[in-house]
Chains A and B, each alone.
Chain A
């Protein structure tokens, strides 16, 4: 809502309050003033001029040479490029020395050999947006009324010596979509009274009821319809002050009839529509839903196919307006209009909203209907419009009104509260007297009992106030939130802490970061192609897709975090960063046939590529490889105390290297995978040797982790035996370890791989694996014989189960 300070001043005394002060006070009281536009801030020395003579410029076809009276001793010569300049016009002249918006200074000049002492201005040059300038002046200079006083300040005369406050209204404060509403708000803030206009209509001879009949078929969607006739109007330009107020409010002037309906919309918040009476075939208005296949060409010239959910105004046969949204071209007021039928009505918010949304027509009218109107203003608005047509269109107002009233709830709401309740909710110590004063300022009637209990009548203009806390808020905001003390909640003390899973999530982040990975956060929405990659879950169901995506790239909920981590890697590589170590913890969204919502599973994914550490000057560079990544994960699992249930098996995942991929199992259940990206995929991401992992973090943190428990620090020496085993290449480390641990128990305390050899010195298809085995008994010193006994058992089991022989 754009509010002209000067216009507002007609209703509330703003003496001594600058537009900026007013803006600050309004903002602090609950309606944010988004901007204050002082229209004449950057303008100086602009006056009303009289074009005494306009001639063709002798040297230039497109220029005019004008002699202009600017109220000085002699007229000045001004060269003007506007096509619409003519002898006899009153115009806006920027004199030599004038300044226009954009710090544009007017100097004496010579244009094609002719002296020019000033400039004849368009409204755009005065800083007015072209979309609100009347069409006839939007391409040229603005022509003032013929009685404009020559030499006076043109900005004053145009009523542009004014400031416009832009209110950012929240949906509840639609009462301030009208100047009256703003006036009530400002009066309450300032502690002033509202002055409403007082008009007198001189009625003509005929009666509206004899000229038109109104039928409303949709009583619920159109609870109130009022019609009023104004006859013999002269369609012409509105008075300048009216045009100026419309422009300042962001509405383009058209002609006096349309301008007046718009003016009333701004003043009362009640949208009006003017029909050309002569174009109504049946002299009848019928309000109903559109029928299937019905069409209406709206005022913007577009033919619209109507839906059966669209409310229409008809003349009994044809639709003539889309109720509350836009009028029809078939009954439009034009320059030849003589008789005007005014409509002032209330239409259902949701119906208007739906039609407006579906047609894409968002008008000043529809915006107000959607938010709800004050039915008490519907009649006054149309009467004021009729009065203005009498004053500014020479109209003769027909007596009477046609009213179809089906408003069901006409009782004003009464809300009870008390001084104690107000203070209890706000935490304040406001006195009854102060509450009375605030209610008076708001213009709310009330009954006070026992000097503490209030019964407050809520005016219909404030449809947003329906329950006690609403009125408490009103009292609080006028009282001022700065005056509310700062306290802390009392009451029962609660234990604040992270849940176990939340703790593990933070621990995981800590562990991964200290092993070199940085946290990334990527988008949950991905494309239909990417969602197919790296799935941990086998499902027949299609991934979850948005009903109306904004783009294909962000259309589907992800099933893996890896595709976007790969995008991150590509992004960084394209910026010359080859060393990438990142992780993300975030949800994937698994379709769930037994629920309307997908199952959200927290995943942990990571990507490593390039160098893991780089100390080149020392000749040390550690490249990321499979085992660097595995080490990072093993370290994490150890920190999470779940290493004992985790195992790895070679596996195949589409998109990963077939020989370098492991499934990660917890108690034999697959919970994730890790591996090198398939070289073909690496190429598409500009990379070499990229290692990735993806783990169900929900699963990982649901595992029973080992409790911290003290075990005795060994007091007796351990004995180490190193063995080198020659085995078939296909025998895995895990196979060997399993046998060693099973047989070596309980004396075997530790086993470590320390060397692998494959090569010439061994037979084809064989490899050597060297382990260091540590034996120990916590209770006593082991004898050599005891160790030999178990060690021999281990060796023979290795031989019999895996064909492992000691390397000579």
Chain B
């Protein structure tokens, strides 16, 4: 009888081993372990056995059942795992295919430059002041120490609308207006970005419309060294910590002393290259101490207050920073151009 049970076990295990199908395995379970299965059949014949052998055979039968049961479960688990594995394998994708496009546009490179400069000076306590682009001759010139007939007016040939109204040639009138509007005539710290216009034929380096950013600080006891320190900070933040600056004396009717600021060339580090025309230095902006006449015209007491002002062109800065070779790109709006500039590395 024991032999019969062992034989059954071997048969069942063999069948389980050979089966690769869950349904078939279930049939095996039913056929061997079911109430009408051969093991039950064998056990029915146990009555013919001597009493002392019965428990022995019972134990063998239980072992055989357990063995078959375990084997079945093992096999089923194996098959299920294989099934899942097959399904996952079938679901494999080419992860190198392109991701779905999400609509996204770009900031104009000039805006990137302007906003970066704004943020830099906001951090130093400046506010952003704006003013009209169509300006009165008074604010554009006269209030800035450029009376009618002043030779420096030639430096910026202008688009007049009437004798007294023109498209502003710089953002400096915003300074004049801010100073004039400041009722208590106290301290001022402003940055004035905006569009300006000059009578130039558009070419690779000239544009009849361009952008300017001016800064103005008015307070008691402002010194030329404060201007130098401010510009140095600005240059290092905008162009990199290893930039050096130098000031050269210059002339603007609205500042005295007037300076131009050069930075050490970011291309060659100052050893001389094509960008800096071999000098190692690149001119970035004009600046100076606010002319006493300008303060007085705006109602400030020039004995008590002094100030400094500086002005720069974002186009020029963008051209230097990004290597843009033609100023017209900023106004043509070729999408292949606009899509090149990202905010992360502005």
Contacts and interface: CB of A to CB of B under 8 A. Distances in A.
Judged by DSSP, the binding face of A is mixed
B249 A30 contact: yes
What band does the interface of chain B fall in when counting residues whose beta carbon is under 8 Å from A? Answer: 35 or more
B257 to A, nearest CB: 4
A477 B247 CA distance: 10
Contacts of B289: 425, 469
The listed residue with most B CB atoms (<10 A of its CB), out of A494, A580, A587, is A494
A417 interface: no
Contact of B136 (A491, A514, A547, A597): A597
Contacts of A477: 249, 257
Contact of B257 (A27, A472, A518): A472
Contact of A485 (B98, B201, B225): B225
A519 B337 CA distance: 11
B125 A484 contact: no
B331 A496 contact: no
Given A575-B334, A596-B136, A497 B127 contact: yes
B66 to A, nearest CB: 52
Interface string B249-263: 111010011110000
B293 to A, nearest CB: 8
A172 interface: yes
Contacts of B151: 171, 349, 353, 370-371
Interface stretch (A198-206, A449-457, A608-616): A608-616
A521 interface: yes
Nearest to A351: B149
A488 B106 contact: no
A618 B99 CA distance: 10
A612 to B, nearest CB: 6
Contacts of A469: 256-257, 289, 291-292
Contact of B249 (A481, A492, A587): A481
Given A502-B128, A614-B101, A617-B97, A484 B228 contact: yes
B333 A582 contact: yes
A234 to B, nearest CB: 40
Contacts of B258: 473
B232 interface: yes
B102 interface: yes
B257 A473 contact: yes
B155 interface: yes
A546 B165 CA distance: 10
Indicate the size class of the contact surface on chain A: 35 or more
Interface stretch (A335-343, A522-530, A689-697): A522-530
B302 to A, nearest CB: 9
Count chain A CB atoms within 10 A of each CB in B106, B108, B189, B291 and give the residue with the most: B108
A94 interface: no
Given A496-B122, A516-B104, A544-B161, A426 B224 contact: yes
B136 A496 contact: no
A298 B154 CA distance: 25
A262 interface: no
A506 B116 CA distance: 12
Interface string B94-128: 00011011111111101100010010011111111
A481 B259 contact: yes
Contacts of A521: 108, 110-111, 330-331, 333
A600 interface: yes
Interface string A11-39: 00000000000000001111010000000
Interface stretch (B21-29, B37-45, B213-221): B213-221
Given A495-B125, A509-B111, A524 B197 contact: yes
Interface of B: 97-98, 100-108, 110-111, 115, 118, 121-128, 132-136, 149-152, 154-155, 159-162, 164-165, 167, 186-187, 189, 195, 197, 199, 201, 208-209, 217, 219-226, 228-230, 232-233, 246-251, 253, 256-259, 289, 291-292, 306, 330-336, 338-339
14 contacts: A426-B224, A472-B257, A476-B224, A482-B247, A486-B232, A494-B125, A494-B127, A499-B128, A515-B105, A546-B167, A547-B161, A550-B199, A596-B165, A620-B100
List of 8 A-B pairs having minimum Cβ-Cβ separation, nearest first: A427-B225, A516-B103, A30-B249, A427-B223, A170-B251, A473-B257, A518-B105, A486-B229
Given A481-B248, A489-B217, A600-B134, 13 more contacts: A371-B151, A467-B256, A467-B292, A469-B289, A481-B246, A481-B259, A488-B229, A496-B127, A498-B122, A502-B128, A515-B103, A587-B195, A596-B136
Interface of A: 27-30, 32, 170-173, 349-350, 353, 370-371, 424-428, 467, 469-470, 472-473, 476-477, 481-482, 484-499, 502, 506, 509, 512-525, 544-550, 554, 557, 568, 571-572, 575, 577, 580-583, 586-587, 589, 596-598, 600, 612-615, 617-618, 620
